[in-house]
Chains A and B, each alone.
Chain A
Amino acid sequence: MFATIKRLYHQFGSPRYFYDMTGKMLPWLIAGAVLLIIPGIVWGLAFAPPDYLQGNSYRIMYIHVPAASLAMGAYVMMAVAGVVVLVWRMKMAEMVARSIAPIGASFAFLCLITGAIWGKPTWGTWWVWDARLTSMLILLFLYIGVMALNMAIENAQSAARATAVLSIVGAVNIPIIKYSVEWWNTLHQPASISMTSSSMATEMLIPLLLCIFGFYFLFAVLLIMATRCEILQREQRSNWVRQLVENN
């Protein structure tokens, strides 16, 4: 088991192997994303029963919840890739970490936008300084900082390593930020409506799970496509990329 993981780690550490393998995996991942998201969304938006309290407006959660989950997951993944960059100096991890940031930021943005759209009919305002909303906003700011730093440094390797340090610092801070924002919010105002207070009906939960898994597939697809572009750009001087370009 461990030997297999170690072998896979070394194989996927090679840009060429990564490019070839992900090229073969990509159609399957796209199929997975489509087969999960489309039924999930259609079921969730059209067939799941309306909520007894919120009516139909709750249906935006079929996009909102997966986006929120991915926005946080992507940051953790970026920090883990950052550790690999700093400890093992792995080139592939640099490219993956660089590709994650815009995708994670997009999901955080999507989560905030859908949250605002949901908040208008439910809470009566587009924005509430609720603990969850605020920490998601700060997560988006952290992503923006990482992206700004990455773009500001020209040398690809030092950009990757500087970003790695920043994303690790950010990852250490995320629990502290989340905890302080919750503390701050409870000081300022009583808790707002909580989604989790009523347990979810099965016919609402299944499409949500489909959407969450589907979004994870979508994330994998986006990440792999972005990383493959990054590989071609960074390895443009190597022979295999030249051959690849000539053959196509």
Chain B
Amino acid sequence: MGTELNPAAVNPAVVKPPSMAQGFNAMLRRDLVVAFRQRSDLVNPLFFFIMVIALFPLGIGPEPSTLQKIAPGVIWIAALLSTLLSVDSLFRQDFDDGSLELALLSPQPLFVLVLGKIIAHWLVTALPLILVSPVLGVMLYMDADTIQATLCSLLLGTPVLSMISAIGAALTVGLRKGGVLVAIIALPLYVPVLIFGTGAVEAASMSMAFGGQLAILGAFLILALAFAPFAIAAGLRISLNG
């Protein structure tokens, strides 16, 4: 009685869809593989970051005291712009080839998959940039403490930037003219991260404690991790259904 209606009797695989963790891992691994198959896309944000920072001494002048003063802001704004530039490709390809729709239809909640995508995106676009930032810090005459603060603040802050820009990317993925629109949407929301990120570096350059700023950046990160995926998932649903 009723056994023929039980999907388990027909196909045992139906009963147990992949768990949330499996979905997350699959998405993370897939995006990493896709990214490493297109190496040029991988290094472009990094080169952009280096070039923007190299342009500042050329534009402002090579005096060490000036460069030291503007270094925190320069590194942070370059990181912010490079995040913004790379985020347009976050959902675009998946939208074009239809895999975003498959993600929407999958049994796992969309925000879990979205979180996997963003972490993969952060790993391939933001992490190299953070790793190269000490070298650029030396070129801008930062001392060891300041470089350490830069590293820590970028590590905590750039994931927040990725999350925020992903909201903008999700809302505009259906439009042909994404680029500038994402910037206009996301830039005002970057303000708190920028303030506390540069605040930490500036405090370190004046040999003051910068743990407080890092703690607040950490709080932003937790807040963004908890809520942004829901906003991104909602944005993707709207973009795909509309």
Contacts and interface: CB of A to CB of B under 8 A. Distances in A.
Interface of A: 86, 138, 141-142, 144-145, 148-149, 152-153, 155, 157-159, 161-162, 165-166, 168-170, 172-173, 176-177, 179-181, 183-184, 187
Given A145-B184, A153-B242, A165 B175 contact: no
29 contacts: A138-B188, A141-B187, A145-B186, A145-B187, A152-B175, A152-B181, A153-B175, A158-B174, A158-B239, A162-B171, A165-B171, A165-B235, A166-B167, A166-B171, A166-B185, A168-B231, A169-B231, A170-B188, A176-B192, A177-B188, A177-B191, A177-B192, A179-B192, A180-B191, A180-B192, A180-B195, A181-B191, A184-B195, A187-B202
Contact of A165 (B189, B199, B238): B238
The 7 A-B pairs of least Cβ separation, nearest first, read: A158-B242, A180-B192, A141-B188, A145-B185, A184-B195, A180-B195, A161-B238
B242 A157 contact: yes
Contact of B184 (A148, A155, A165): A148
Q: Which of A138, A158, A159, A162 has the most CB of B within 10 A?
A: A162
Chain A binding surface SS class: helix
Interface of B: 167, 171-172, 174-175, 177, 181, 184-189, 191-192, 195-196, 199, 202, 220, 227, 231, 234-235, 238-239, 241-242
Contacts of B241: 158
A157 B174 CA distance: 14
B189 A169 contact: yes
A173 B195 contact: no
Nearest to A173: B189
Chain B binding surface SS class: helix
Contacts of B171: 149, 162, 165-166
A142 B227 CA distance: 19
B185 A149 contact: yes
A100 to B, nearest CB: 17
B192 A173 contact: yes
A188 to B, nearest CB: 9
A154 B191 CA distance: 29
B153 to A, nearest CB: 14
Given A86-B234, A161-B242, A172 B192 contact: no
